[in-house]
Amino acid sequence: MHAAPARAGRGGARVTARVLLVEDEPTARELLASGLARAGYEVDGACDGIEALERLTAAHEFVVTDIVMPRLDGIALLEELARRGHAARRIVITSFADKERVVQALNHGADYLIEKPFTAERLCGVLEHLGARRAAEQPPITQYFRRRLAELPLTARERELVELVLRGDSNKQIAQRLGIGEQSVKNMLSRAYATLGVQSRGELFHRVFPI
């Protein structure tokens, strides 16, 4: 699958970025590719990590990948991109309920996590956001986490807690790291959620990484 050359994107802006879209579900892949193409992106599709590596070129500025796929999954694909030193921004399709895979994705170089279900328009917003960050030479994701956390109306202890939550630690693990009880973690997390106006880890992620 190969979309038409870049043209006017959202808001009339001309988009020239090339995207490698890795999704094993054909219908979802086609819908997302069509939406990206309408926004002006040039899209190459792949059904899994093996095909993605076969199609990957230096021209790809973004790699959008699911995690659970046959043959070679998204985490292994991230590892190979890192091994090759490829400069593409990595957007990982995931579920924030799957904390283990969220942590793996972040540890293997994901630039952004996008939670299912989502629309092509939402994905376009993420690509535009990451493109703007690159143009402005923003810091990598760990530094960006901390800079964003520093801007939020939280205490230093709450920021430390939120960073551990976003890394995927359980309440028990957080309690051990901070040297406090699990109930104290729950109470502090409830206060942080209330302050930020969120109710879940997924909402918390998007509060820290606004689009």
Residues in CB range of 28: below 8 A, 6 or more apart: none
User: Per-residue pLDDT tens for 38-51?
Assistant: 999 999 999 999 99
**Contact yes or no for 86/111 (Cβ under 8 A):** no
Q: At 44, phi and psi to the nearest 5?
A: -115, 135
Phi-psi region of 197 (alpha: psi -120 to 50; beta: other; left: phi over 0): left
| Cα(99)–Cα(103) distance, integer angstroms | 6
Lookup result for tokens 């790699």: 63
User: Per-residue pLDDT tens for 92-145?
Assistant: 998 766 677 777 888 788 888 888 889 999 999 989 888 876 554 544 556 666
| Cα(173)–Cα(192) distance, integer angstroms | 18
Mean pLDDT of 157-180: 84
Token pair of 174, please? Answer: 């957080």
The CATH number that domain 141-208 falls under is: 1.10.10.10
Measured between its terminal Cα atoms, the distance across the chain in Å is 28
Q: Provide the greatest CA pair distance for the chain.
A: 56
Is CATH 3.30.70.260 the classification given to domain 10-135? no
Residues in CB range of 194: below 8 A, 6 or more apart: none
29 vs 164: which has the higher pLDDT: 29
| Cα(25)–Cα(32) distance, integer angstroms | 11
Residue ranges of domains in the chain: 10-135, 141-208
Token pair of 164, please? Answer: 């551990």
pLDDT at 30: 95
**Contact yes or no for 126/105 (Cβ under 8 A):** no
